[in-house]
């Protein structure tokens, strides 16, 4: 079964909007685990507009499932944060300063030498590494040369086109996934996956190990409640 890692950035956004500690980010993370999530994801950014750097330390101290830290490894503070916490997985995402949300994968060919260096830094610390990539064969093949353990397919294009033509929308992802399987790369996915499009994606992507879902899941929880929402997402992955 594909694991569900809940991205709790939006919980932090809500908390930060009023100051204080309501909602309690750590409690929400523990509740997500209690409700069945197999992992917790955070994506700290330099402006700390959602996840604060201290949150990462607080979460690492209590999380019992898989902890995944996403972010841009071109920021030294991010590298230091990951090495200090040693999560189960670090996902390298090529964000730029001030970016609202992730919107593209790495160019694993042009950035090969840099990524190879970063992958080695984290792996030496005992951290599994995943690289965020678009569903392009050359980028998947390029990822292999970096030494990464996994890739995470950036799924916004799939989600955006799912309702228009789901078979066409998923086609490049199937091709990319098969190439990753062939090369021995572990496979994750994330971005704009939701209750409408998740099941079809999971059923058609071979050996999908993990999905990271935040915005849609937290939005659904406003209507269904967090426990029921997590159960609904897990059902899509069963």
Instruction: Give pLDDT tens digits for 11-29.
Output: 999 999 999 999 999 999 9
With bands split at pLDDT 50, 70 and 90, how would you rate the model's confidence at 86? very high
Average pLDDT of the chain, as a whole number: 95
| 32 pLDDT more than 80 | yes
Residues carrying an active site annotation: 43, 70, 191
Structure tokens at 95: 């964000």
Q: How far apart are alpha carbons 114 and 190 in whole angstroms?
A: 23
pLDDT at residue number 35? 98
Partnered with residue 128 across adjacent β-strands are: 89
Task: Name 48's Cβ contacts closer than 8 Å, sequence gap at least 6.
Answer: none
User: pLDDT tens, 139-185?
Assistant: 999 999 999 999 999 999 999 999 999 999 999 999 999 999 999 99
Peptide bond into 43 cis (omega under 30): no
How far is residue 51 CA from its own chain's centroid? 14
User: pLDDT tens, 100-113?
Assistant: 455 578 999 999 99
In the chain, domain spans:
3-237
What proportion of the chain, given as a percentage, has pLDDT over 70?
A: 97
pTM to 2 decimals?
0.94
Query: Which H or E run includes 138?
Result: helix 137-146
Would you tell me which CATH number, out of the four given (2.120.10.30, 3.20.20.450, 3.20.20.70, 1.25.40.390), belongs to the domain 3-237? 3.20.20.70
Q: How far apart are alpha carbons 153 and 134 in whole angstroms?
A: 6
pLDDT at residue number 102? 52
| 4 pLDDT more than 70 | yes
State the pairing for strand pair 150-154/39-42. Answer: unpaired
pLDDT at residue number 97? 54
Q: Residue written as tokens 């079964």?
A: 1
């Amino acid at each position: 079964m594909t694991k569900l890692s809940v991205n709790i950035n939006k919980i932090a956004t809500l908390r930060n909007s009023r100051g204080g500690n309501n909602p309690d980010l750590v409690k929400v993370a523990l509740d997500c685990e209690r409700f069945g999530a197999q992992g917790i994801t955070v994506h700290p950014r330099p402006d700390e507009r959602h996840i604060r750097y201290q949150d990462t330390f607080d979460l690492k101290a209590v999380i019992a499932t898989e902890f995944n830290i996403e972010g841009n490894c071109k920021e030294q503070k991010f590298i230091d944060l990951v090495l200090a916490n040693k999560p189960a997985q670090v996902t390298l995402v090529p964000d730029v300063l001030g970016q609202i949300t992730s919107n593209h994968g790495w160019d694993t060919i042009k950035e090969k030498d840099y990524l190879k260096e970063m992958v080695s830094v984290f792996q030496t610390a005992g951290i599994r590494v995943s690289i965020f990539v678009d569903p392009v064969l050359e980028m998947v093949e390029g990822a292999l040369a970096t030494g990464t353990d996994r890739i995470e397919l950036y799924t916004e294009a799939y989600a955006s086109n799912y309702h228009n033509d789901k078979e066409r929308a998923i086609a490049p992802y199937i091709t990319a996934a098969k190439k990753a399987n062939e090369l021995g790369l572990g496979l994750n996915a994330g971005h704009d996956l939701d209750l409408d499009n998740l099941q079809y994606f999971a059923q058609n992507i071979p050996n999908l190990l993990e999905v990271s879902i935040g915005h849609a899941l937290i939005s659904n929880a406003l209507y269904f409640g967090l426990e029921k929402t997590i159960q609904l997402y897990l059902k899509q992955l069963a």
